Amino acid sequence: MEPVLAVVIGGLYAAGMYLMVRRSIVKMIFGLALLGNAANLLIFTVGRLTRGRPPHIPLDSTLPSLPVADPVPQALILTAIVIGFGVQAFALVLIKRVYQTVGSDDQDVMVMENQGQGSSGKGQGEEA
Amino acid sequence: MNNLLFLPLLIPLATAILGLLAWNRRRLQRLLGVCSSAALLTVGLMLLYAVQQQGVISAQAGNWPAPFGITLVADLLSALLIVATGLMGLCVTIYSLADTDARQESLGYHPLLQVLLLGICGSLLTGDLFNLYVWFEVMLIASFVLLALGGQREQMEGAIKYVALNLIASALLLAGIGLLYGVTGTLNMAHLALRMQNMPHTGTIPVIAALLFCAFSIKAAVFPFYFWLPASYHTPPIAVTTIFSALLSKVGIYVLIRVFTLIFPQETLAGQPLILAAAGLTMLFGALGAVAQPELRRMLAFCVVSQIGYLLMGLGLFTTLALAGSIFFMLHIIAAKSALFLTTGVVARLTGTSRLAELGGLYRRYPLLAALFLLPALSVAGIPPLSGFWGKLALVQAGLQSGQYLMVAAALGVSVLTLYYLSNAWIEIYWKPAPAGAEELQYLPPRRRRQLLAPTLLLALISLVLGLLPEPLFRLCHSAAQQVLNPSAYITAILGALP
């Protein structure tokens, strides 16, 4: 199972990175979501995959009978999903506002119009 | 027992909640903001005193014993930074009483500021790596909203870059934490430090260290990940820029120091050339960027980047003196750079612009304001007897002791550049005659003027006093650096006596 998940995680990271370097901010947000999912799946996989062994402790014992599935990675992922949900919701509202104020979802258009005002991100890079 | 550790989290949290309940009552929100920041400063000082008396103190949330529950811990470094957070919270809250416009206040400016302080205090006090990620997100989401609050076009562009880069950093951080858990089976930082001591540092561990270094470097705006900072910091209201520049990137540096001295000391030593190179290039590119800026706020944003390099230099040199210098420099830069940003805000409010070419002649009308810019500017450049000099002196001395001559040369060269562009800015704003066609200066009512100038004056004076009497604080920073470099006290305070 691990090799399959490794390939899936790699694919998610690659797709996320590809989307993030696109000029469209909508695709950038999709890319962010994919990166978050890739990280969650990575935590899930490196936390060891153990099938069908919930970490229950028998009544007459103080330890579960090993091996059991580690619940901590799942708790981490759950937290990360909730945080990611909030952050992505904010990002979506933000790009809506950006689209309303700039009138485009293309990052190059934002920079070009800004250059007309005198200074811009691009210009700074060259001077630096 | 050490319930004092919870107060820096509870005070801003309670104030934010009360502020949200008092949504339409702006006066009450303002009052709450000022009281809460003052309380945070007081608690910070109490915490610093307690840590000085008792050594590292820790508390377990919900009384779950250490590696399993969530640990809060304060050593000298985090206590010093909590004090700085409280001080900056107070200064910025008072400043924004006069500077923030009614619309932004009605959109929840004051509660958001408290949430930001909550996230910062949480990141400084937590002893658990995943909990650190959560506090970072609390800090980030508040900073996103503060950055975009008001929705000006320019702010939107800045916000997109800021949000995208910081979310990438969070994804990297999360992946790094997950991998580290997979390798070591724990997330408690003290426990991690113990386990790492008894592990071969090969295979995935250097990779995890690199991932975490990149993630924190993006947050701290270290070369080559610094470009989002100058692209976004000049857009929000000046009070917001001030608290961002004073605290957010410093939290990134704090976490770098904490994690890389505690969990990855071997990787830090192995990666020393890389860390030093990143530090030097951060200084240099920040300073070169600042020289080229015709607009004061953008110049100061680049200056923030440039100073981050000095803070990283202390970690790269990895000696007690260097780290002490870094910590002292961090406290100095929080005060001095914030004073610069706040005076810039006053100038912008008086003249309606912060473009250097359109400014001039302010010395004649406002000599106090000119002094309030000149003093921190010289301090940032590192002119004795101001506070920046002592931090740089310690760093340079440590660099010479370690034989890193190139690094020392970079640090000194960048100081000259800093002096050049800041004095140039001072001449442009205050000394040269006002350009023809400059608009009449805005009138500021006395009450507002006091609210704007009091925090600025306080920060500039702190920079002066730290310069004239550096000894007590420097000794504290030295003990803080010793604590950071010998983590056994930290580990014992959390996990109990070592086996």
- Token output for B409: 């040369």
The number of distinct structural domains making up chain B is 1
Q: Which residues of B touch A91 (CB under 8 A)?
A: 163, 167
Cβ pair B487, B481 in contact under 8 A: no
Any chain A CB within 8 A of the CB of B144?
Answer: yes
Q: What is the mean pLDDT of residues B80-99?
A: 94
- Domain presence at residue A124: no
- Domain presence at residue A10: yes
Inter-chain contact B294–A119, Cβ cutoff 8 Å?
Answer: yes
- Domain presence at residue B354: yes
Q: Which residue has the higher pLDDT, B342 or A51?
A: B342
Any chain B CB within 8 A of the CB of A127?
Answer: yes
Cβ pair B4, B50 in contact under 8 A: yes
- Domain presence at residue A125: no
The number of distinct structural domains making up chain A is 1
Q: What's the pTM?
A: 0.92
Q: What is the mean pLDDT of residues B231-251?
A: 91
Q: For residue B268, what pLDDT is reported?
A: 84
- Token output for B163: 């949000």
Cβ neighbours for B436, distance < 8 A, ≥ 6 positions apart: none
**Chain A window 12-51: which residues touch B at a Cβ cutoff of 8 Å?**
20, 25, 28, 32, 35-36, 38-40, 42-43, 46-48
Q: Which residue has the higher pLDDT, B78 or B498?
A: B78
Strands (E), chain A: none
- Domain presence at residue B99: no
Q: For residue A118, what pLDDT is reported?
A: 43
Domain region containing A34:
2-52+70-114
Inter-chain contact B178–A46, Cβ cutoff 8 Å?
Answer: yes
Best residue in A21, A96, A98 to probe B by mutation, most B CBs within 10 Å?
A98
Q: Which residues of A touch B178 (CB under 8 A)?
A: 39, 42-43, 46-47, 73, 76
- For residue B181, give the chain A residue with the closest CA: A47
The rounded percent of chain B whose pLDDT value lies above 90 is 65
- For residue B150, give the chain A residue with the closest CA: A97
- Domain presence at residue B421: yes
Q: How far is A28 from chain B (nearest CA, A)?
A: 8
Q: Which residues of A touch B122 (CB under 8 A)?
A: none
Closest Cα to residue B193, out of B273, B85, B84, B75? B75
- Domain presence at residue B464: yes
> Does position B311 have pLDDT exceeding 70, yes or no?
yes
- Token output for B60: 């377990």
E strand or H helix at B71: strand B71-74
Any chain B CB within 8 A of the CB of A122?
Answer: no
- Domain presence at residue A22: yes
Q: For residue A119, what pLDDT is reported?
A: 42
- Domain presence at residue A59: no
